[in-house]
Amino acid sequence: MESLRDIRQNIKAIKSTQQIMQTMKMISNARIRRAQEAMVAARPFATKMLEMVQDFTQEVLALPQPEDAPESWARRFFVNRSADPSKIGLLVITGDKGLAGSFNAVILRAVMRFIKENKDKQITVFAVGKKGRDFLARLRVPNLHLAYESVGIFPKVSYAHADLLGNALMKSFLEEKLSSVTLIYNDFKSLASQNLVQRTLLPFVPAADVVKDTHEFEFEPGLLEIFKLLVPRLIKANLYRVLLESQAANLAATTNAMDAASKNAGEIVTALELKLNKVRQAGITNEILDIVNGAEALNN
């Protein structure tokens, strides 16, 4: 049986851990408000940029394209006939730290499924978040190449991080002739839940329900010039939105995990305090029995 001292030390250690968990929960709560505000503010711009590019889709695809000439820069973001089918890209966004429940594990399991499904292809990986970077670095997969990594940016994501990531992603997509780039991350749904998202980031998939304006427009200085200005901004704006969504989801997951861990710690402390009282009462009872037995022995 444990001694009273051992039980008290266990209670003290668990209470200290519980206090750390409660502090982490409060910090995450304070940060998640700012993260939500930044996320909500970034959504309209990214959505509108996507709508603008979708409006240009038919015009870009209708541009003259000689069959014996290399595919134009603009068409590669839609049709991408110049790409190598054996080369693909993968953008993985995880957290920098643990203690967030299954937040990172869900993403990494999806990454493993993606790698197994594409084991016959060369995969160029862009990793955001220390957990994902470390996981991919430990994998000994011959067809996996880590081309870009960004760690330690959460929970202070800025547009500069999206700008650097967007430049690296577009450069690899065009120069290495990647056939596609897939994005895997956790999207913010609410404070209580997050959604795993796996979708094609590049090339752009034309929306089937886009309603085209019947008016004719003249583009100055030209459609291609405008398109070349819009595409990088579109990619970076959407990457910034995705980073903010992932950041908010990570903070929400951390808050929930710390809240659950704190409650579990409280239950353990309650059980240990009950055990402490039982051991103490048993000790007092034994002492009383010893006194009674001693008194009876003297009387006899």
Q: What is the pLDDT of residues 72-88, one digit of tens each?
A: 666 777 777 777 889 99
Instruction: Return the higher-pLDDT residue of 116 and 45.
Output: 116
Residue 62 has pLDDT above 60, yes or no: yes
> Measured between alpha carbons, how far is 265 from 30 in angstroms, rounded to an integer?
22
Using one digit for the tens of pLDDT, what is the confidence trace for 13-24? 888 888 888 888
Confidence at 71, pLDDT banded by 50, 70, 90? low
Most confident of 104-113, 188-197, 286-295: 104-113
CATH number listed for the domain at residues 37-208+217-255: 3.40.1380.10
Q: Which of 81, 73, 121, 117 is nearest to 225 (CA)?
A: 73
**Alpha helices for the chain (secondary structure H):** 4-61, 103-117, 130-138, 159-175, 223-299
Assess contact for 99 and 262: CB atoms under 8 A. Answer: no
Q: Which residues pair with 156 in a beta bridge?
A: none
Mean pLDDT of the 182-186 span = 95
The pLDDT assigned to 64 comes to: 64
What's the rounded Cα separation, in Å, for the pair 280 and 278? 5
For residues 278 and 115, the model is more confident at 115
What is the C-alpha to C-alpha distance for residues 28 and 133, in angstroms, rounded to an integer? 23
- Tell me the pLDDT of the chain averaged across its residues: 83
Query: Rounded to an integer, what is the distance from CA 144 to the centroid of its chain?
Result: 20
pLDDT exceeds 60 at position 268: yes
CB atoms within 10 A of CB 88: 21
Q: Beta-carbon neighbour count of residue 138 at 10 Å?
A: 7
Choose between 70 and 261: higher pLDDT.
261
32-41, 206-215, 248-257: least confident range = 206-215
If you average pLDDT over each of 62-66, 97-101, 146-150, which comes out highest? 146-150
- Asked if residue 165 has pLDDT above 90, the reply is yes
pLDDT tier, 295 (very low <50, low <70, confident <90, very high otherwise): confident
Q: How confident is the model at residue 298 (pLDDT cuts 50, 70, 90)?
A: confident
The pLDDT-based confidence of 147 (bands split at 50, 70, 90) is very high
Angle (nearest 5°) at CA 281 between 276 and 286: 130
pLDDT band at 69 (very low <50, low <70, confident <90, very high): low
Q: Which pLDDT band holds residue 214 (cuts at 50, 70, 90)?
A: very low
pLDDT at site 88: 94
What's the confidence (pLDDT) of residue 149? Answer: 94
- Over residues 166-183, the mean pLDDT reads 91
**To 5 degrees, how large is the angle CA 216–CA 220–CA 222?**
85
pLDDT at 215: 47
| Most confident range, picked from 166-170, 204-208, 281-285 | 166-170
Which contiguous run of DSSP H or E holds residue 150? strand 144-150
Instruction: For residue 99, give the 3-state DSSP assignment.
Output: coil
Residue 12: which pLDDT band, with cuts at 50, 70 and 90? Answer: confident
